């Protein structure tokens, strides 16, 4: 769908994505002779999220720091400039830049709490550092992967043995399952903590 200005200048060669993502906003921009999606030149070292747009200012691709809601059903992504101007009912967390090293405290900042495996309580993520734990491992897996179940059993044996020795450690299960029921079923087989379903996406 080619979009032309009032002066028959090409605004965009394919406006399908713009009008699909934001119908009214796209039409308003086109009427002004502008595109809906825009971006800026990244300085050296600034990360470009090639397939992500800011849901407020429509920067696409998004450049720089990216924030998202911990409730993935909201489907909101914000650039740094829009974060301070946007009010949202759920916590917003910073995405980690891929292929960079991050301290564990920053990794865990995207997980506000951990479900207690024994009841419906929530465990403050900060509390897992209070028992002389020096290491935390992240276990990414899915329920439908049968070879993964074999590895989970082996990891469980190693983990339970390590807890009785001098240097215990934590494991946090990060589910990649599409269904919450699958997440809960698999979590019930594990002796360690788990991030809430879908909340681990910012670590992927």
The secondary structure of 74-139 as a DSSP string is: G--EEEHHHHTT---SS-EEEPPPTTS---HHHHHTT--EEE-TTSS-EEEGGGGGTTS---EEEE
Q: How far apart (Å, rounded) are the C-alpha atoms in residues 117 and 7?
A: 64
Number of Cα atoms under 13 Å in the Cβ half of residue 101: 1
Kindly report the pTM of this predicted structure: 0.63
- In tens, the pLDDT along 165-199 reads 767 788 989 888 888 899 889 989 999 888 888 77
- In tens, the pLDDT along 113-165 reads 787 766 677 887 777 766 667 788 889 999 998 889 999 999 999 999 888 87
Q: How far apart (Å, rounded) are the C-alpha atoms in residues 50 and 163?
A: 42
Strand partners, 102: none
**DSSP tag of 29:** H
The CA-atom distances, in angstroms, between 24 and each of 16, 17, 21, 67, 196 are 13, 13, 9, 24, 35
Question: 111 falls in which pLDDT band (50, 70, 90)?
Answer: confident
Q: What number is the average pLDDT over the span 9-14?
A: 64
Structural domains present in the chain:
2-95 (3.30.60.90), 104-202 (3.40.30.10)
Question: 34 falls in which pLDDT band (50, 70, 90)?
Answer: confident
164 is written with which tokens?
A: 């009785």
Q: How far apart (Å, rounded) are the C-alpha atoms in residues 99 and 181?
A: 31
């Amino acid at each position: 769908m080619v979009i032309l200005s009032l002066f028959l200048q090409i605004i965009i060669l394919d406006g399908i994505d713009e009008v699909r993502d934001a119908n009214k906003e796209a039409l308003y921009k086109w009427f002004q002779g502008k595109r809906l999606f825009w971006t800026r030149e990244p300085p050296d070292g600034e990360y470009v999220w090639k397939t992500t747009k800011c849901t407020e200012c429509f920067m696409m691709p998004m450049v720089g720091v990216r924030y998202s809601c911990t409730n993935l059903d909201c489907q909101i992504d914000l650039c740094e400039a829009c974060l301070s101007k946007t009010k949202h009912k759920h916590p917003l967390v910073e995405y980690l830049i891929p292929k960079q090293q991050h301290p564990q405290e920053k990794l865990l900042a995207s997980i506000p709490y951990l479900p207690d495996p024994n009841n419906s309580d929530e465990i403050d993520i900060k509390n897992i550092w209070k028992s002389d734990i020096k290491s935390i491992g992240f276990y990414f897996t899915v329920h439908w992967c049968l070879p993964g179940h074999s590895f989970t059993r082996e990891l469980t044996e190693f983990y339970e043995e390590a807890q009785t020795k001098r240097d215990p450690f934590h494991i946090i299960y990060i589910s990649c399952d599409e269904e919450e029921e699958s997440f809960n079923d698999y979590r019930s087989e594990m002796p360690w903590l788990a991030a809430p379903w879908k909340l681990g996406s910012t670590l992927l």
